[in-house]
Amino acid sequence: MPQLVKHTQAPSETEAAGAELAARLTPGDVVLVSGELGSGKTTFVRGACRALGVEGPVTSPTFTIGQLLGDSPQVAHLDLYRLGSLAGEDPALLEDYLTPERVGFVEWPGVAEPQLERVAARVTLEHAGGDRRRITIA
């Protein structure tokens, strides 16, 4: 995927950027979504999820590392912020969520990155002042 940079000025525009990427994804693809707290990772994933037919709320999972949303395709939305290190974790932890039938989105992918297969895109969001965000999709 060639690198693409987008500037957004509102959450709706970041959702639209997510939707645009979603149109190019197929089951089994995993998208890594990086950026500081509040940079818009979950907002981006929400837009992608909507485009993939997910109805209902899309928020970062709070008590688990991930949640399953929608169907056809099912979407796995993971947030590894609290994971710290994968050392000591069951190696099946990620495989429970990321399967060939699902499209996966992983916020705070850092610790898991070496283990993630089929990474289709890496998305990085940055604050650019106020409601502006810079989104890099590679």
Chain residues in the site for Mg ion (CB under 5 A): 41-42, 60, 107
Kindly list the distances between the CA atom of residue 57 and the CA atoms of 46, 54, 97, 102, in Å, as whole numbers in the listed order: 8, 9, 18, 18
Q: Which stretch binds ligand ADP (CB under 6 A): 40-48, 65-73, 85-93, 116-124?
A: 40-48
Cα 46 from Cα 58, distance rounded (Å): 5
Q: Are the beta carbons of 130 and 28 closer than 8 angstroms? A: no
Nearer to Mg ion, 101 or 131 (CB): 131
Which residue has its beta carbon closest to Mg ion?
42
Q: How far apart are CA 69 and CA 112, in angstroms?
A: 21
Nearest CA-CA partner of 34 in 23, 45, 26, 24: 45
Cis (ω within 30 of 0) for the bond into 73? Answer: yes
Q: By CB under 6 A, which span of 34-42, 63-71, 97-105, 112-120 interacts with ligand ADP?
A: 34-42
User: Contact between 38 and ligand ADP (CB under 6 A)?
Assistant: yes
Point out which span in 36-44, 50-58, 67-75, 97-105 binds ligand ADP (CB under 6 A). 36-44
How many chain residues interact with ligand ADP (CB under 6 A)? Answer: 18
Q: Which residues bind ligand ADP (CB under 6 A)?
A: 8-11, 13-14, 35, 37-43, 60, 107, 131, 133
